[in-house]
Amino acid sequence: MTTKSGSTSEDCRRAPPRELAVRIPPGTYPVEIAWTAGPYEFFGEHFDGVACAATRLRISDDPVVGWEMGLGVDDDIDRLQPGEQIRFHSDANVGCFADAGAWTALTTPFRTYVDGEPAPRDSEQLPGWCERVTDESQQADLVTFTAESGGVVWLGRTRTGDVAVIVVTSGMPGGKA
């Protein structure tokens, strides 16, 4: 399975999704979300809030012994300065995990508009403001999650070098997996 991540909003109609360069074996994998809670200020008003800090696609239960940035197929690491990270952008603060081979079918419900408004879609609402779209013909799913623009994708590797987890931080500069 190749994995794509990207916005499932209007951005989906304009820009191609960010396809990760790493390949994941076909299978069913749990998506887990880490939440953070606390007070924050927005335009001078104070709120108590809960936010998604990171989302993890757990590929195996093997221990992670090292982390690396999850590069996209089109990422050019030669342009990075020391200490810089490749960050993703989402104008809708939504990310997703999906099978790259089924990307067009899985994202069609998010790209369908009627009179300029998103059309109703046949999807499953999941906890934590997540959503799943399934394409039975390709035996593939797309799962959305909160992902603020500016996040980083991290790969957790096992002792043998296999990818055990893919973690998407949610727009927090300096956030670590």
pTM: 0.79
Which residues have C-beta within 8 Å of that of residue 83, sequence separation ≥ 6?
none
- Tell me 13's DSSP state: H
Q: What integer pLDDT is reported at residue 67 of this predicted model? A: 97
Is residue 121 within 8 A of residue 111, CB to CB? The reply is no
CA-based nearest residue to 29, from 163, 121, 124: 163
Q: What integer pLDDT is reported at residue 6 of this predicted model? A: 45
pLDDT per residue of the chain (177 residues) written in tens, 0 to 9: 444 444 444 444 456 678 899 999 888 999 999 988 888 787 888 888 887 889 999 999 999 999 999 998 888 888 888 888 888 877 777 888 998 889 899 999 988 888 989 889 889 998 888 889 999 999 999 999 988 888 899 999 999 999 999 999 987 555 454
Is residue 131 within 8 A of residue 145, CB to CB? The reply is no
Is residue 115 within 8 A of residue 18, CB to CB? The reply is no
Q: How many residues does the chain have?
A: 177
Q: What integer pLDDT is reported at residue 14 of this predicted model? A: 53
Which residues have C-beta within 8 Å of that of residue 177, sequence separation ≥ 6?
54, 67, 154, 156, 167, 169
